[in-house]
Structure 1
């Protein structure tokens, strides 16, 4: 282990001890506390301690105002289950997470807040819903994942797989869904550039861009 890694581990261990007693800390106080504990260690001085603390905060290993540290977060079984669920099922909203884990809203929000604070997950507002994703997933695929997780959207895409241009009424009748519902999701697919509009006289026909759709699926799976 390098001297730098060893110094960080020493400081981190003392930080854990400090936070178990005082979750609210100032940089000055915690540096003084650690410095007193390592005063016989020639490799660690005040400046180095401060740099390590700032690095730990930047990496969200520790967060001022909470005694929790990053490694504590997923030691909680429920929180770990939620994290794994979001990893495997991106673009879920809080109601879906609550249902999947049989949690009340307050408890679900508490776990999600901790996961987000320590950058295990992130959230985005889509169609007035707070949607959760793994933190290091690519945000450019968020809307794609959100809509592809919708059963009606999946049905529309499957129905349009033959790439034949279709009228909204054909899709709605074929799927036995409301015309306005189909229109709403077609507009979303158009926005994602997965569906194209073709004109036939005065009518709009809708066609799946299968090549773009398959490419998006491939890119998401690769990510």
Structure 2
């Protein structure tokens, strides 16, 4: 298998992988990887999206509607924010307190999530209240399908959250 075929195969298995992570995981030099990605993009086999100083790489046929979600869940803070908003809508202060981060940090991530089209914002008095735009079940499916390692870590938390949202209980 050629380097380029190996890179393409890895992108198919890990859609939305960042450029740096791809280089690290495949052990390929930056310049070499840039060359192969350029060729793959020219051959119309991959697409890349730049956001927040990072380059995210997807197979050409990847479902466009899931690209923003994969970009967001690849960032731990944004993933945590999405999961918090799946519980209920919150303002920036509440999110900052729950995640034990500064409001400035939360503001940055909320702007990214807004730019990705994953959250809604509405003014409520002096506060801006954020809510999730996408369905939690879609988040669960995307994580389990495209990020199995992450899924293993989050499975119990997500199952509990879904049960809470559905008002159900597990019957033994």
* 1:146 equivalent among 60, 68, 71: 71
Deviating runs (4+, > 6 A) in structure 1? none
Q: Partner of 1:69 in structure 2?
A: none
Give ranges in structure 2 of 5+ residues lacking alignment. 146-172
* 1:125 equivalent among 21, 29, 50: 50
User: RMSD of the TM alignment (CA)?
Assistant: 2.8
* 2:112 equivalent among 184, 188, 199: 188
Q: Partner of 2:17 in structure 1?
A: 92
Contact 1:126 1:143 in 2 (8 A): no
Give the greater-gyration-radius structure (CA). Answer: 1
Tell me: higher relative CO, structure 1 or 2? Use CA pairs within 8 A at least 6 residues apart.
2
Give ranges in structure 1 of 5+ residues lacking alignment. 1-74
Structure 2 Cα separation of the partners of residues 123 and 194 of structure 1: 19
TM-score by length of 1: 0.54
Q: Partner of 1:174 in structure 2?
A: 98
By how many angstroms is 1:219 displaced?
A: 8.5
Q: Partner of 1:200 in structure 2?
A: 124
Q: Is it true that 1:136 corresponds to 2:55 in the alignment?
A: no
By how many angstroms is 1:154 displaced?
A: 0.7
Question: Which of the pair is proportionally richer in strand?
Answer: 2
Per-residue CA deviation, residues 100-128 of structure 1 (Å, 9 max, x unaligned), is 11221122123223322333222233334
The DSSP-based 3-state class of the residue aligned with 1:137 is coil
Structure 2 Cα separation of the partners of residues 125 and 131 of structure 1: 6
The DSSP-based 3-state class of the residue aligned with 2:107 is helix
